[in-house]
Structure 1
Amino acid sequence: MPLPALATVADLAALLGRTFTPEQELQAQALLDQASNVVRAYIRQDITRATTTDTFTMRRSDPVLHRCAGAVTLPQRPIVDIESVAMNGTETHDWWQDGNDLLLRSVTWNQPPVSNRPPQVTVTYTHGWDPVPADIQAIVLQAANRVIVNPAGIRTETVGGVSVTYLIPSTGEYLGVLLSRTEQRVLDRYRRTAGTVNLRSR
């Protein structure tokens, strides 16, 4: 199921101070969907509040240093609630949360039916923001607005000695619904950089 846009058509209309026709509403929604996908791809997060079931390959941990036998890192943030944890298909309550890490106290690594394989941990958890952070929403609206204000991507046009400059970055690069460097810097605080082995979602 597609994730919802991170801002609404009503938000965009309010930003522009105008009322959209039905055709313009469709265009605005498409642009907001594209901008939301670009933002999600950059920060590697779903952002909106949701409940997900994922299966991960457990990694070993130092039982003395970390007081656990294995761990997995949950990729979606922030974590609101962990509803259930199962190891190799069997539910377990022998775990605790440390930030985005799920730590399991007792782990059997080499026992059928997963001989010679690390344990597989299935986690159902709720994550994301509700509402969407204001700075993320603002960037999505800005990206959509760039296309509505200047769909041709023209920076300067001269007609009859009159020069008109459009809202394009000083580099002259047409961004469309892509992100500027300034917008990326704002989003960096939300960006996930650590790798996580995610086998499947359901």
Structure 2
Amino acid sequence: MAVLPSLATVADLATLLGRTFTPEQEMQAQALLDQASSVVRAYVRQDITRATTTDVFPLRRADPLLHRCGGVVTLPQRPVVDVDTVLVDGAETADWWLDGAELLLRAWTWGQPPAAHRPPQVTVTYTHGYDTVPGDIQAIVVQAANRVIVNPSGIRSEAVGGESVTYLIPTTGEALGVLLSRTEQKVLDRYRRTAASLRVRGH
């Protein structure tokens, strides 16, 4: 799997701090931004940046009250920009359409026992994510990295505007790295994938 780019740049962090980094400081800043980006992606369960992915999903039977089709696949990475190819059990099909992040197959004959115990496997190659990282996500990544830079003394928490903000060093003195505040998590919740989606293989 390709390494995903940071969700903010060293220039963004330098602008926030109002300073110019030395080459060594640039390396540290990039490492912190990479870590903050990974923390954000892990929380929202999304790649966020624009990418093309091939995944394999088990086909779900459609709800007759919601969908008039043969089966449904929910694509986990959002937003879905485009779908390139769809294969069902290895056979390419064009008999599908998109409804948001759901790919619906117009018609499909479900197997009889014993094949019926294994749902058809749908291979989808699709483009997803944002061409430009949303500003609120970018700001959170920069803020999270900045807290590590401005908190060298190991302060664990302090009250900021009536909110308790947790920093990177716990009372045991063990460095944990970049963490998200509760306020930042609430902002990120609008991007977070909460529904379970089975991902069998990704490239």
Distance 1:94 1:172 in 2: 51
CA deviation after TM superposition for structure 1 residue 171, in Å? 3.5
For 1:177, the aligned partner's letter is V
Q: Which runs of 4+ in 1 moved over 4 A?
A: 111-115
Q: Which residue of 1 aligns with 2:44?
A: 43
Q: How much does 1:103 deviate?
A: 0.4
CA deviation after TM superposition for structure 1 residue 69, in Å: 1.2
Deviation for aligned residue 1:155? 6.4
| Aligned CA distance change for structure 1 residues 200 and 21 (closer, same or farther; 3 Å) | same
Q: CA deviation at 1:154?
A: 2.4
The answer to whether the aligner puts 1:23 opposite 2:24 as a matched pair is yes
Deviations 1:130-187 (A, max 9, x none): 110000000000000001111232269xxxxxxxx898x8537324521000001111
* Percent identity of equivalent pairs: 72
CA distance in 2, matches of 1:113, 1:126: 35
Partner of 1:153 in structure 2? Answer: 154
Contact residue 147 and residue 167 of structure 2 kept, 8 A: no
Structure 2 residue runs of 5 or longer lacking an equivalent are: 169-176
* TM superposition shift of 1:31: 0.3
Q: Distance in 2 between matches of 1:78 and 1:59?
A: 21
The two structures have a TM-score, normalised by structure 2, of 0.87
Q: Following the alignment from structure 1 to structure 2, what is the Cα–Cα distance between the partners of residues 110 and 170?
A: 56
| 1:45-194 correspondence runs (5 A) | 45-63=46-64, 65-110=66-111, 116-154=117-155, 171=164, 173-175=166-168, 177-194=178-195
Quick one: which amino acid aligns to residue 167 of structure 2?
A: Y
1:109 shift after superposition: 2.1
Larger Rg over CA atoms: 1
- Name the residue aligned to 1:160: none
Residue ranges of structure 1 left out of the alignment (5+ in a row): 157-164
Number of aligned residues? 194
Distance in 2 separating the partners of 1:56 and 1:172: 39
* CA–CA separation in structure 2 for the residues paired with 1:166 and 1:182: 13
1:135/1:115 Cα in 2 relative to 1: closer, same or farther (>3 Å)? same
Quickly say closer, same or farther: Cα 1:144–1:172, change in 2 above 3 A.
Answer: closer
TM-score by length of 1: 0.88
